[in-house]
Structure 1
Amino acid sequence: MENLNKILRIDTSARVSDSVSRGLVDAIIEHLSAEKAVQVEKRDVSKGLPFINEDWVGANFTPPEMRTDAQASTLAQSDQLVNEIKNADTLVIGIPTYNFGVPATFKAWVDLIGRAGVTFKYTETGPVGLMEGKRAIIALASGGTPSGSEIDFVTPYVRHILGFIGITDVTFIIADAMGQQAEEKIAAAMASIKQI
């Protein structure tokens, strides 16, 4: 279909029901689908991803044409995750703040897709992202951490890692520090979705 917006939806919250980040992602996709026909691919990393290990590192740093069948198998899920990004026009990622950082499953996703020569490359002037021309919209939720504060280690990390692989058009929809006035903050976040 011409003019189709291919969306990669990534959920990271351990909560499935009553998850603020998932609810915001729902609303973002609904808003985007009102503007243009969309095709949504879903990746729920809360269900678990493997952590990289010595076998994975060895396979990753072996040239593709020299990899054994076992090494190719070791990288199969990583390849799939990378292809999901490559096939997307827009990434919509729901991220709750856990203990001042991202959920461990999101960090596992980052480790699996952060591959030299695949999603970024090294040059004489430094690393260059290879996933350019894409947009990311991040639905961020936190119970007690104010976004942009000195204890917010989520927004700068997510912006940096996406930029590192070439995605620099990043928008945050934020419902933060919901330990107080949660309903008002969720409502404000929902309202801000209409501006994207």
Structure 2
Amino acid sequence: MLKDKNSFSELRSHLVMTWPVKLAEKLPEPVLPDGYRIVQQLKRRAFTAIHKSVNWDLDRGQWKDLNGVLMKNGMFFVLNEKNEPVAVACAIHTKNSVELGWVAVKSEYQGIGIGKSLCAHVVQFLLKKGHKRIYLATEDDLLPAIHIYLKMGFVPVLHDTDMLNRWKRVCFELKQDFKDESWPSKLQV
């Protein structure tokens, strides 16, 4: 989500979530449906096609921005039984932390556990590299993704004045408990 390794201000309009360090040992094991597998590759065409399939058109500038912050070997794809890329997620370097970002699953493959498994795989990758400060940024309307992040253990960050009301609405729509007293008010970087 970040264009610049040093910029947190770009996140102001996004919902932000952080990975609690205490959950490092409790991360769900990535379990994909039979015939699917996760690979580390850097494939612009597949990355763009997956994002386009979920109505997220990327321009060359965004691809260039991503390449500037993408960790080495930090792009992960889920391949189906025909070896076709059907999902993508990235490990991104920021100034003092790392981000799980650019997560997308082709719509016809959503709802079968691919997104959760892929996100868990990327978080494991980051933890194995020694990173403890992991965050993600998302949009209010991406409720299925937010539901996955909450189930994995990510915690909302109330980093701006409107976040409390936005998270109340999201939790209500997802039928999730609203636990703002335990949520951080800033991203620890």
On whether the aligned pair clears a TM of 0.5, the verdict is no
Q: TM-score, normalised by structure 2?
A: 0.29
Q: TM-score, normalised by structure 1?
A: 0.28
